[in-house]
Amino acid sequence: MLRVLVLHGPNLNLLGLREQAIYGAVTLDEINQTLTRLAKDHNVDLAIHQSNAEGDLVTWIQHAHKTFDGLIINPAGYTHTSVAIRDAILAVGLPTVEVHLSNVYRREAFRRRSLIAPVAIGQICGFGAFSYELGLRALLDHLSRSDTQRSSQIREHDREEQR
């Protein structure tokens, strides 16, 4: 069974209340429920955390390599500022999908620079709460293709050893 870690960054605990014109009316709990249902449908074990503290996010990422196959992260405001989160993702080497509710490229100029995107396998933004579902689906697709490639490499290696 695949295990996926979902991390929500600062202020996402206020979804449904804050700037609904930008972030919509969906709450974080509703996003988590949708992700949990989707994960169950795909036989995936999901762990979900939210923190306003950068250090919490870094610690969860650092421990993730021991038990998780992939990471979905909405670093929120830390997207543009956190070298520590970037370095943690790079250090653990987990396939990571960066998600954002809003289209960061249609917003203020400072939001268009992500320190996370260069160490992620992909970035999804602008689809509201659906960005998370797309992120999970993309990560699962990536992991299934990676497993297929690894299995193929193992079979090829076994054939070469038999020769």
How far apart, in whole angstroms, are the C-alpha atoms of residue 107 and residue 42?
34
| Residue pLDDT, tens place only, 93-143 | 999 999 999 877 676 676 667 999 999 999 999 999 999 999 999 999 999
Say how many domains are in the chain: 1
Q: Write the Ramachandran bin of 110: left for phi over 0, alpha for psi from -120 to 50, otherwise beta.
A: alpha
Output the domain CATH number for residue 50: 3.40.50.9100
| Residue pLDDT, tens place only, 32-61 | 999 999 999 999 999 999 999 999 999 999
Helix (H) or strand (E) segment spanning residue 55: helix 54-67
Active-site hit among 8, 78, 100, 132: 100
105 assigned to active site: no
* Residues spanned by the domain of 84: 2-162
100 assigned to active site: yes
Active-site hit among 8, 23, 78, 132: 23
